[in-house]
Amino acid sequence: QCCVELGLSASARIMQEESNVRETEPRVAALRDAVLRGEWDEVEDIVEQLSCLPPPARSAVRFLVVRQRYLELLEQGRAEKALVCLRERLAPLHSAPLTSNGAAELQKEGTHGTCKVQAPATVGELSGCLLCATAEELRARTGWDGASDE
């Protein structure tokens, strides 16, 4: 990727061929950048466009993205917006069937490849997070690192 950014496309292509490691697909790179910027609407749009994900996995990823958004709203002390997110975005996603292609396991067991999924995983557990008085209490209750990954 660095070679491409420096204008060394031929060198990048040769390195990819020799190492058998491909540059990140542009949509995946855009997804990573949107996540790092906290642009959750953009993240959800990109997830919908990822053809590499089968529909059940896409549903599981959407749930994880919206859960992150919800936890960040709580961390920022925006409980009303978090409650709207929980009711209007998370609850409908969680009620969708997430059983084929390992999507439920992604959510329940906590691992899928190198992706570690942290608790809480259910809407009921997430609703309990509304009772946390501080960001520190939220992190302690959920085992979540927080938006800044402190």
As a whole number of angstroms, the distance between CA 16 and CA 22 comes to: 5
Per-residue pLDDT of the chain (150 residues; tens, 9 = 90+): 566 667 777 877 787 777 766 666 778 788 889 998 989 999 999 988 887 778 888 888 889 899 999 999 999 999 999 999 999 999 888 754 444 343 443 443 333 333 444 456 788 889 999 999 999 999 999 989 888 755
Q: Where are the alpha helices (DSSP H) in the chain?
A: 2-5, 9-19, 26-37, 40-49, 55-75, 79-85, 91-95, 103-108, 123-128, 135-142
Distance CA 79, CA 61 (A): 23
